[in-house]
Amino acid sequence: MTSATDIRPFRIAIPDDDVDDLRDRLSRTRWPDDLPGTGWERGVPGDYLNGLVEYWRTSYDWRAQEARLNEIPQFTTTIDGQTLHFAHVRSPEPDALPLVLTHGWPGSFVDFVKVVGPLTDPRAHGGDPADAFHVVVPSLPGFGFSTPVAGPGWGDLFRVAGAFAELMRRLGYERYGAQGGDIGSGVTGMLGMLAPDRVVGTHINGPAEFPFGPPVSLEGLSEVDRDRAERFNQYQAEGLGYLHLQSTRPQTIAYALSDSPAGQLAWIVEKYREWTDPAADLPEDAVDRDQLLTNVSLYWFTRSGASSAHIVYEGMQAFRRYVEQAANEGGGEAHEPPKGPPNGVAVFAGDHSIRQLVDPAGSIEHWSEFDRGGHFPAMEAPDLLTTDVRAFFRGLR
């Protein structure tokens, strides 16, 4: 007899009918007319997406990618009424530190496949075995196989962090580190707040100013930070359409994302063009094309385009309530927030992170900046991310 709290083995097995349906839908894509003389400044160009759709339909091998993913041990459990999917790879090193890795949007647990081996078994990847981790990679509720969503409220990152803390408890991990980016950075930070006696340190990548705040002033910035600020201001002016729509009318976009794989692909691939290393001209210049399509396929097969949009909606609503509450309490006595575990930050070439804005008090213990990579470092620059995570946690074991 099984219990809801049991850890259940999980294996990906997408039905043949679903794979055939994907290919059929791709073959029947109804294409819009391109406006002559336009390019990426208006969104994903038709000629580019047409070629990527054709590759997805005729050359991409889902079954081969599914088999590779199934080489990673995966499980599910039920926490607070929600099915939670996660990968869990124990290191061969007995003194390894447990580490929970949290993805963001438009990502999934697929983001981390290139770093699992180096993190869990550094001895086999040219590293020091003393830097080994037991790795846990949950799928956020509403993403991948942590679907369907049992009910509203899973966009509250405190709730998600609480679920991840319970997951680590069920796995028997008393002390662990946490790492994440995008939504995952929020969950990671909250894990440190919710379980400060268990979380030894939190490491995030790519923090930036709140996107709906004022533009960043360029005055007094270094050349590197000025470039980051200019890109952030351009993102504010031209790149927030996806966020406005998902954070206000998620159900409206849900129909298109659930009915058209070409639409789901365009919705995601635009971010691989805009948020990756600025030196990369096309998305596949920044990330492996098959890994990109595996992530998009996962969204398609699990209908995560819709459910993740609702998670973004709830997350933004919760954040706005927090901002309003903080503004209303602004006239009261200031309270020093409790000191949590040590923090580490990795900034990659495509990120907007400016330390004097993100960390004006200089309280972040570990801050690294790199000249390549971007918003998806586990996919773009797995070597840099792995090295920085090892370095940050080395003194916290």
Please provide the DSSP assignment of 340-373 as one string.
-S-EEEEE-TT----HHHH-TT---SEEEE-SS-
d(CA 263, CA 383): 32
* Amino acid symbol at 316: M
Listing DSSP states for 128-173 in one string gives -GGG-EEEEEEPPTTSTTS-S--STTTT-HHHHHHHHHHHHHHTT-
Q: Which amino acid is at 87?
A: A
CB 139 within 8 A of CB 112: no
Q: Give CA angle at 276 (203, 178), nearest 5°.
A: 15
- Of the candidates 156, 176, 375, 388, the residue annotated as catalytic is 375
Q: Please identify which residue in the block is written with the tokens 């705040």.
A: 213
Residues composing the chain: 397
- Residue-wise DSSP of 82-101: EEEEEEEE--SSTTPEEEEE
Q: Is 21 among the catalytic positions?
A: no
Catalytic residue (choose from 111, 121, 131, 182): 182
Indicate if 182 belongs to the active site.
yes
Residue 275's Cβ-count burial label (10 Å; 0-12, 13-18, 19+) is: buried
Decide if 375 is catalytic: yes
What spatial distance separates the first Cα and last Cα of the chain, rounded to whole Å? 38
The Cβ of residue 21 has, within 10 Å, a number of other Cβ atoms equal to 14
Measure the CA–CA gap between 248 and 151, rounded to whole angstroms: 18
Where do the H-state alpha helices sit in the chain? 16-27, 46-58, 62-70, 113-120, 157-170, 183-194, 223-238, 241-248, 250-259, 261-274, 283-286, 289-302, 304-328, 355-358, 377-380, 382-393
Q: Please give the torsion angle defined by the CA atoms of residues 379, 381, 382 and 385, in that order, rounded to the nearest 10 degrees.
A: -120
User: Residue 368: phi, psi to the nearest 5?
Assistant: -125, 145
Give me the helix-helix angle, 16-27 and 289-302, nearest 10°: 110
Catalytic residue among 24, 281, 288, 322: 322
**8-state DSSP, 77:** E
Q: Closest by alpha carbon to 50, among 31, 35, 33, 23?
A: 31
Would you name the residues annotated as active-site residues? Answer: 182, 322, 375
